[in-house]
A and B are shown apart, each in its own frame.
Chain A
Amino acid sequence: DADVTQTPRNRITKTGKRIMLECSQTKGHDRMYWYRQDPGLGLQLIYYSFDVKDINKGEISDGYSVSRQAQAKFSLSLESAIPNQTALYFCATSEGLSEGETQYFGPGTRLLVL
Chain B
Amino acid sequence: AQTVTQSQPEMSVQEAETVTLSCTYDTSESNYYLFWYKQPPSRQMILVIRQEAYKQQNATENRFSVNFQKAAKSFSLKISDSQLGDTAMYFCAFIPRGGGATNKLIFGTGTLLAVQP
Interface residues, chain A, with chain B CB atoms under 8 Å away:
33, 35, 40-43, 45, 48, 56, 58-59, 88, 90, 92, 96-97, 100-105, 107-108, 110
Contacts and interface: CB of A to CB of B under 8 A. Distances in A.
A88 B110 CA distance: 15
Contact of B44 (A96, A97, A105, A110): A105
B1 to A, nearest CB: 12
Contacts, number: 57
7 contacts: A42-B110, A45-B104, A100-B52, A101-B98, A103-B95, A105-B44, A107-B42
Contact of B99 (A40, A41, A101): A101
A102 B93 CA distance: 10
A33 B99 CA distance: 12
Interface of B: 33, 35, 37, 42-47, 50, 52, 91, 95, 97-99, 102-105, 107-110
Contacts of B37: 105
A48 B76 CA distance: 29
Contacts of B98: 97, 101
Contacts of B42: 107
B97 A42 contact: no
A33 B104 contact: yes
Question: In the complex, which of the residues B33, B44, B105, B107 has the most CB atoms of chain A within 10 Å of its own CB atom?
Answer: B105
A105 B46 CA distance: 7
Contacts of A110: 43
A105 B45 contact: yes
B97 A43 contact: no
Given A41-B109, A102-B50, A58 B91 contact: no
Nearest to A105: B45
Given A42-B110, A43-B107, A110-B43, 17 more contacts: A41-B109, A43-B45, A48-B104, A59-B102, A59-B104, A88-B43, A92-B45, A97-B98, A100-B50, A101-B95, A101-B98, A102-B35, A102-B50, A104-B47, A105-B46, A107-B43, A108-B44
A42 B91 contact: yes
A41 B107 CA distance: 9
Contacts of A107: 42-44
